[in-house]
Amino acid sequence: MAYVSARGGERAIDQAERLFRAEMGPIEPERVAQSRDGLPYLIDRVMGEASLYNPDLAALALAQTGGDLSEAVLLLRAWRTTQPRIAVAAPVEQEGLFTHRRISAAFKDVPGGQVLGPTLDYAHRILATEVLDGEAFRPSPVDAAETPTDPTPPHVSGWQAENELVDLPDPDPTKGEDIPDITRQPLLFPAKRAHTLQSLARAETGGILALGYAAMRGHGSDHPTVNELRLAEAEVEVLHPSGTRFSAGRVKVSQAEVVSKQGERLRLGFAATFGWNEVKVIAAATLDLNNTDHAEKGSPTEEEFVLYHTEGVESSGFCIHFKLPHYVSFQSSLDAMRDVAARKAAPAEHKEHASIEEPAE
Amino acid sequence: MTLADFAHRGAASSYAFLDASAKRELRRKMLKAVCVPGCQMPYASREVPIARGWGTGGLQVSLTLVTPKTSVKVIDQGADDSVNAASIRRFIARVAGCPVTTDTCTADLIQSRHRIPEEILRPDQILVLQVPNPEPLRPVQPNMSVARQMHADADYGRMWLQLYEEIVRSGRVMQGSAYPSLVNGRHVMTPSPIPRWDVPKLHMARHLTILCAGREKRIHAVPPFTRVEPLVFDDIPYRVEEHANLTCAKSRARGFFMNELPQADGSAIHEISDSGYGEKSIRLRDGETDVRGQTWYRDGRMT
């Protein structure tokens, strides 16, 4: 079946979708639950890029798309945008986070301690092939620490500010509905601070990593030091219509704060996102750090370049749109090409607009 | 009262998918776009259930304008049953409960990718064009914020220079589709990647055209009776594709924009690109009368 035919295209489209779904098989609640419980970091990544914190919906989106990440994020975003905004949660303070992991590369030890939390950072990456032979991989039990660490450690940059090493940005007093919302407003440049941070939070992980890595390799002006990286849970504190403040639940969040060591004072770059996704926030914070006034327009670390090209739904959608028929614009260009070729073959007939040799430089 | 009472679960509950706040924003931005013809208005651009770059801008406009009585036609490259046109039409009909048609003359709202139908549109019809790249200055200035400033200053020197360089290099302007055009004597816009054949149809047209880019979050418009002038030098006239003398292999009709269909023997045949009009031409050939509306082009010439 041709993909544009005189009639009958609709049937082919319908069958193509059926073929995809038939190969996926029925989606039972168990499959969704397995995805949610077995792949929490994938769920986190999808929730962050969708800017929708709901592990069940994220798992459903993954199950429905067979794990195609761009499709899953699009599904969630399209669902999210139709939902009412019933409340705007109170701002989350770094020190109020219930912290599972908090490390600083800037100091050997920091007030509150280096809390490694759950990580594969120091693991040997060896495939547990015995599982395929029927032998389950059973993780070794964790020995609890003698004294629990403080779940709400102070932030490193606070100490640095006290010691006049860094100037902390002034607190932004904007509240509630007045906070600019990237899902309700277009992104314009120079971008509002809220828009920048929201865009980084929603950015596609691979895209932000690619540009962040470019900045780290030397295409940026500032090399990052990880001042503080946190994996935590944040209370979603909202105002009930009856007037009481209450927590509607906890969401997993990641935050990275990186610093540049050039100049007299440290400069901060920051990023945060839903879910636990360390590579994303470190790369995003590095790009935030490199987005200075001197970042050249069009350079890979400049704000407009970064924010436009790491928007996952837009970039993936545009990329796959090239599969759509383009024969009208193609025809239009062929017409001009053939005309030029014809003129070159018979220059005498078209003397009036014949091409003119460019003068040598 | 619990949180669950506030949040409605499951399917989108709004008529025509988009919620009221999204539609309100689009209505406001469409009005602004009509007030300043050809000027790009930024808007939030919500996600819709098709991929970005597949007509999400056009779709948001259609979903905002559609009512249960609106007769909707959707075309892609001129064809009603191209993959994406069929998918978008099915979606609009599903969420808006509106009738659909392939007949340009009976449609109230036409969403199109890269073509303007051959039949003249009336004042009561609205044409919605899908736009991949709303910025005509992109080839000379890839940075959106700088380009925005250039529009504000009507700083189009580099556009003219680019056209001049093409003429010097190739002997003609090489722009195929999406020919940059001056709207109402003030803003240069892209008419979206419609062929050069279609651009004159926008000039002093009786209908409203809304051009909307979903991914790039920009909307612009050509209101009725507005000048749309392709950028050309006085001594080198604007030229549409050389399709005036091509004959449609299916209907034997001549003088319309054609699709070229390569044949196995190395030759090519042509068919009318506007599939709705092509079908009517076949019916005319088979003896039916009064099937075709008035067309912009007659005998291959713009009237």
pLDDT of residue A6: 42
Model confidence at A263: pLDDT above 90 = no
User: Measured between alpha carbons, how far is A47 from A348 in angstroms, rounded to an integer?
Assistant: 65
Return the closest-CA partner of residue A72 out of A40, A45, A109: A45
Q: What is the pLDDT of residues A288-339, one digit of tens each?
A: 999 877 778 778 899 999 999 999 999 999 999 999 889 999 999 999 999 9
B176's CB contacts (< 8 A; 6+ apart) are: A329, A330, A332, A333, A334, A335, A336, B195, B196
A353: which chain B residues are within 8 Å (Cβ-Cβ)?
167, 171-172, 236
Q: How far is B123 from chain A (nearest CA, A)?
A: 26
DSSP A107-128: SSS-TT--B--S--TTS-----
Average pLDDT over residues B76-100: 92
C-beta atoms surrounding A212 within 10 Å: 32
pLDDT of residue B108: 98
First to last CA, chain A: 54
Average pLDDT over residues A72-87: 92
pLDDT of residue A2: 38
Q: What is the pLDDT of residues A201-217, one digit of tens each?
A: 999 999 999 999 999 98
pLDDT of residue B4: 66
User: Please, is B93 exposed, middle or buried when counting C-beta atoms within 10 Å of its C-beta (0-12, 13-18, 19+)?
Assistant: middle
Chain B 74-93, residues with CB within 8 Å of chain A CB atoms? 76-79, 81-84, 86-87, 90
pLDDT of residue A296: 80
Q: Which residue, among A246, A305, A310, A321, would best test binding to B if mutated, counting the most B CBs under 10 Å from its CB?
A: A321
User: Measured between alpha carbons, how far is A235 from B105 in angstroms, rounded to an integer?
Assistant: 57
Q: Which residue, among B29, B177, B257, B273, would best test binding to A if mutated, counting the most A CBs under 10 Å from its CB?
A: B177
A43's CB contacts (< 8 A; 6+ apart) are: A35, A36, A55, A58, A59, A62, A275
Report the residue from B83, B145, B196 with minimal CB separation from A332.
B196
Model confidence at A354: pLDDT above 90 = no
pLDDT of residue A39: 97
Average pLDDT over residues B189-215: 97
Is there a contact between B60 and B18 (Cβ–Cβ < 8 Å)? yes
C-alpha to C-alpha distances, B138 to B135, B150, B190, B228, nearest whole angstrom: 5, 11, 10, 20
Average pLDDT over residues B134-142: 92
B7: which chain A residues are within 8 Å (Cβ-Cβ)?
83-84, 86
Task: Indicate the length of chain A as a whole number.
Answer: 361
User: Measured between alpha carbons, how far is A73 from A75 in angstroms, rounded to an integer?
Assistant: 5
pLDDT of residue A348: 61
Model confidence at A238: pLDDT above 60 = yes
Q: What is the pLDDT of residues B140-179, one digit of tens each?
A: 998 888 999 999 999 999 999 999 999 998 889 988 899 9
Average pLDDT over residues A54-67: 97
Specify the residue for token string 């599939």: B275
User: Measured between alpha carbons, how far is B22 from A292 in angstroms, rounded to an integer?
Assistant: 33
First to last CA, chain B: 66
Note whether B171 contacts A353, CB cutoff 8 Å: yes
User: Measured between alpha carbons, how far is A111 from A113 in angstroms, rounded to an integer?
Assistant: 5
Model confidence at B12: pLDDT above 60 = no
Report the residue from B7, B17, B87 with minimal CB separation from A86.
B7
A333: which chain B residues are within 8 Å (Cβ-Cβ)?
174, 176-177
ipTM: 0.79
User: Please, is A248 exposed, middle or buried when counting C-beta atoms within 10 Å of its C-beta (0-12, 13-18, 19+)?
Assistant: middle
Model confidence at A1: pLDDT above 60 = no
C-alpha to C-alpha distances, B65 to A54, B23, B47, B62, B123, nearest whole angstrom: 32, 9, 17, 5, 15
Chain B 118-147, residues with CB within 8 Å of chain A CB atoms? 132, 142-146
Model confidence at A13: pLDDT above 90 = no
| Better pLDDT: B13 or B93 | B93
pLDDT band at residue A352 using 50, 70 and 90 as cut-offs: low
Phi, psi of B112 (to 5 degrees): -135, 145
pLDDT of residue B36: 98
Return the closest-CA partner of residue A278 out of A253, A303, A260, A313: A253
Model confidence at A126: pLDDT above 50 = yes
Report the residue from B45, B142, B175 with minimal CB separation from A298.
B142
Q: Please, what is the average pLDDT of chain B?
A: 93
Return the closest-CA partner of residue A43 out of A60, A30, A28: A60
Average pLDDT over residues A186-207: 95
Specify the residue for token string 């987005």: A291
pLDDT of residue A4: 44
DSSP A267-300: EEEEEEEES--HHHHHHHHHHHHH--TTSPTTST
Report yes or no: B301 at the A interface, CB cutoff 8 Å. Answer: no
User: Measured between alpha carbons, how far is B232 from A100 in angstroms, rounded to an integer?
Assistant: 64
Torsional sign, CA A228, A229, A232, A236? positive
A298: which chain B residues are within 8 Å (Cβ-Cβ)?
142-143
DSSP A6-24: SS-HHHHHHHHHHHHHHHH
Report the residue from B3, B14, B177 with minimal CB separation from A332.
B177
Q: What is the pLDDT of residues A91-122, one digit of tens each?
A: 998 889 999 999 999 998 899 899 999 999 88
Q: Please, what is the average pLDDT of chain A?
A: 90
Note whether A353 contacts B273, CB cutoff 8 Å: no
Model confidence at B114: pLDDT above 90 = yes
C-alpha to C-alpha distances, B108 to B67, B94, B111, B207, B290, nearest whole angstrom: 10, 17, 10, 11, 20
Torsional sign, CA A219, A221, A225, A228? negative
Closest chain A residue by Cα to residue B131: A318
Note whether A320 contacts B13, CB cutoff 8 Å: no
Note whether A353 contacts B42, CB cutoff 8 Å: no
User: Measured between alpha carbons, how far is A181 from B171 in angstroms, rounded to an integer?
Assistant: 49
User: Measured between alpha carbons, how far is B84 from B73 in angstroms, rounded to an integer?
Assistant: 13
pLDDT of residue B9: 56
pLDDT band at residue A5 using 50, 70 and 90 as cut-offs: very low
User: Measured between alpha carbons, how far is A325 from B53 in angstroms, rounded to an integer?
Assistant: 13
pLDDT of residue A14: 84
